[in-house]
């Protein structure tokens, strides 16, 4: 499924990432935990293929979905378009069903600016789960949310994950998120940061 | 809103009134003709077909120069905004052209290419080009890297990226380049015609100027101003509203 064998990643002269090995079976879920700035997002970008400038090998399925820290929506396109542009194989009915599931059933023709912050997040979630991806990558999408919205988003994400049965790689600094999503926690720490498969108990 | 429209109308009326009053006080139609006689002259020019013919010629040059400057300037500006190395190469040229007086470019174009249509259109285009490049470059620089990542993660085809991300993101900058560029072209195209073309509003102003016919000068220039205001109202403003429609909902 997913095979990651990163041996090094440099920003200029500075080595950010050391040995990071990861092997996931289909439908397996992991959360990569670590303090901010340690290189979690960098590792996720390498896994997703957004960053190809590193030492090592990554084998990642073609069909992936990526959820970013911010909603990252096209402000100039309606909710429908925001979904369908990225999933051309999905019908409008399919998009409507997904919008209903995230509680935006009547917002299809709205522009993102007309939505509340929570609704924008849910639209981003809908985009991530609209068509079945082999692997779903979450780059701290729940940080900087207020506790109520965070809980709502986590519950929704878990439901969608259970439905889709996709593999999950999730990056966060909050272990409770990993518990919510029922994922195995691995830790990224050190300088340069390396991946530790048993989360240390504090 | 309505109130503001009214104020604009009254203000315009006041300008006309002031002009009328001044022309009565001066009592010298050779120097300052009344609005009435200028409008009369416009009517005469329209009846002979002169006005439409020259307006059309000027319009044709504007259209060419505008399209050329927008396409070439847009492409180059975007390229410079995305590619620091290209920017380092082209930027010094840009600065020179930005600071070259319009008149110098016009005269050089005529001297080097000859007194023809190509030289005229090129002179106008070259005057507008640096402005478009600067504005589009700014737009390309401020484009969001997150949206690029999004497109890349979902493996969006290039054409879709252009249509749904690059162009919409650039659109406000394209609109402002079009508007400021157009208002610059109006002014320069007349000078170009004045100096070296046989037709066009600029040429007619030259003719009226050489026979010291102020009524004629005013008739031609005011017709041109009306024409521009019409384009602004019927094309540019609706286009701008369309380009920013998603923002007005907020």
In chain B, residues with a C-beta closer than 8 Å to the C-beta of A50 are 149, 152-153
* Minimal CA separation from B188 to chain A, in Å: 35
Predicted local distance difference test score (pLDDT) of residue A201: 45
User: Count of domains in chain A?
Assistant: 2
Domain B36-248 belongs to what topology? Answer: MetI-like fold (1.10.3720)
- The answer on A138 and A126 residing in a single domain is no
Q: What Cα–Cα distance (Å) separates residue B192 from each residue in B108, B202, B205?
A: 11, 7, 12
Q: Domain holding A2: CATH number?
A: 3.40.50.300
- The answer on A57 and A114 residing in a single domain is no
- A202 pLDDT above the threshold of 50: no
Question: Which one of A50, A76, A111 has the shortest CB-CB distance to B153?
Answer: A50
**Percent with pLDDT over 90 in chain B:** 80
Alpha-carbon distance of A141 to A180, in angstroms, equals 14
The 3 state secondary structure assigned to B124-149 is: HHHHHHHHHHHHHHHHHHCCCHHHHH
- The answer on A113 and A33 residing in a single domain is no
| Helix axes B167-196 and B117-141, enclosed angle (nearest 10) | 150
- A35 pLDDT above the threshold of 50: yes
- The answer on A138 and A194 residing in a single domain is yes
- B39 pLDDT above the threshold of 60: yes
**Mean pLDDT taken over chain B:** 92
Question: Which one of A68, A81, A113 has the shortest CB-CB distance to B250?
Answer: A113
Q: pTM for the full model?
A: 0.82
Average pLDDT over residues A144-163: 92
Average pLDDT over residues B6-33: 92
- A1 pLDDT above the threshold of 90: no
| Domain of residue A98, residue span | 70-131
The residue to which tokens 């300037």 are assigned: B73
- The angle formed by the CA atoms of residues A92, A98 and A102, to the nearest 5 degrees, is 140
- The answer on A54 and A138 residing in a single domain is yes
**Percent with pLDDT over 70 in chain B:** 98
- A43 pLDDT above the threshold of 80: yes
Predicted local distance difference test score (pLDDT) of residue A200: 47
- The answer on A168 and A196 residing in a single domain is yes
First to last CA, chain B: 19
- B26 pLDDT above the threshold of 60: yes
Whether residues B249 and A110 touch (CB distance < 8 A) is answered with yes
- The answer on A76 and A42 residing in a single domain is no
- Pairing state between β A135-139 and A64-67: parallel
Q: How confident is the model at residue B248 (pLDDT cuts 50, 70, 90)?
A: low
- The answer on A119 and A145 residing in a single domain is no
- B144 pLDDT above the threshold of 90: no
Average pLDDT over residues B173-189: 90
Task: B152-158: list long-range contacts, CB under 8 Å, 24+ apart.
Answer: B152/A49, B152/A50, B153/A48, B153/A49, B153/A50, B153/A64, B153/A65, B153/A66, B153/A137, B154/A65, B154/A66, B154/A86, B155/A62, B156/A85, B156/A86
Q: Which of A47-51, A142-146, B136-140 has the lowest mean pLDDT?
A: A142-146
Predicted local distance difference test score (pLDDT) of residue B120: 96
Six-digit token string for B91: 């930027």
Alpha-carbon distance of B224 to B217, in angstroms, equals 11
- A130 pLDDT above the threshold of 60: yes
- The answer on A141 and A202 residing in a single domain is yes
Q: What is the pLDDT of residues A70-119, one digit of tens each?
A: 999 999 999 999 999 999 999 999 999 999 999 999 999 999 999 999 99
Average pLDDT over residues B133-141: 95
- B250 pLDDT above the threshold of 90: no
- The answer on A167 and A189 residing in a single domain is yes
Q: Are B223 and B42 in contact (CB under 8 A)?
A: yes
Residue pairs spanning A and B at CB distance below 8 A: 54
- The answer on A83 and A118 residing in a single domain is yes
Residue A85 at interface with chain B, using a CB cutoff of 8 Å? yes
Residue A66 at interface with chain B, using a CB cutoff of 8 Å? yes
| Helix axes B214-231 and B35-48, enclosed angle (nearest 10) | 80
- The answer on A150 and A59 residing in a single domain is yes
């Amino acid at each position: 499924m997913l095979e990651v064998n990163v041996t090094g990643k440099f920003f200029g002269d500075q080595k950010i990432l050391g040995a990071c090995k990861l092997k996931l079976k289909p439908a397996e879920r992991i959360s990569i935990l670590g303090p901010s700035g340690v290189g979690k997002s960098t590792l996720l970008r390498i896994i997703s293929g957004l960053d190809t400038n590193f030492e090592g090998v990554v084998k990642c399925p073609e069909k992936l979905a990526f959820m970013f820290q911010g909603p990252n929506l096209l402000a100039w396109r309606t909710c429908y378009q925001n979904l369908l542009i990225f999933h051309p194989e999905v019908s409008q009915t399919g998009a409507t069903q997904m919008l209903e599931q995230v509680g935006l059933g009547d917002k299809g023709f709205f522009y993102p600016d007309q939505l509340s912050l929570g609704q924008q997040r849910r639209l981003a979630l809908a985009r991530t789960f609209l068509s079945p991806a082999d692997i779903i990558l979450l780059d701290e999408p729940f940080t900087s949310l207020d506790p109520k919205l965070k809980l709502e988003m986590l519950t929704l994400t878990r439901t969608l994950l259970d439905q889709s049965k996709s593999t999950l790689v999730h990056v966060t600094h909050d272990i409770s998120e990993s518990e919510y999503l029922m994922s195995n926690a691995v830790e990224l720490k050190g300088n340069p940061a390396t991946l530790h498969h048993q989360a240390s108990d504090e | 809103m309505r109130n503001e429209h009214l104020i604009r109308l009254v203000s315009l009326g006041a300008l006309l009134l002031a002009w009328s009053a001044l022309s009565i006080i001066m009592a010298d139609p050779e120097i300052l003709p009344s609005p009435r006689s200028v409008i009369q002259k416009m009517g005469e020019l329209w009846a002979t077909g002169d006005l439409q013919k020259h307006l059309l010629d000027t319009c044709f040059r504007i259209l060419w120069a505008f399209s050329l400057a927008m396409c070439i300037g847009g492409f180059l500006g975007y390229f410079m905004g995305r590619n620091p190395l290209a920017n380092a190469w082209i930027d010094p040229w840009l600065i020179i052209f930005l600071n070259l007086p319009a008149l110098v470019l016009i005269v050089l174009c005529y001297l080097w290419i000859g007194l023809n249509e190509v030289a005229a259109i090129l002179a106008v285009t070259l005057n507008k080009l640096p402005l478009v490049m600067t504005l589009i470059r700014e737009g390309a620089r401020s484009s969001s890297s997150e949206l690029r990542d999004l497109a890349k993660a979902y493996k969006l085809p290039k054409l879709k990226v252009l249509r749904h991300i690059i162009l919409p993101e650039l659109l406000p900058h394209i609109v402002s380049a079009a508007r400021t560029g157009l208002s610059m072209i109006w002014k320069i195209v007349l000078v170009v015609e004045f100096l070296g073309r046989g037709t066009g509003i600029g040429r007619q102003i030259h003719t009226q100027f050489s026979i010291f016919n102020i009524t004629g000068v005013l008739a031609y220039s005011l017709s041109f101003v009306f024409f521009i205001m019409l384009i602004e109202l019927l094309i540019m403003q609706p286009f701008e509203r369309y380009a920013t429609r998603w923002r007005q909902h907020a």
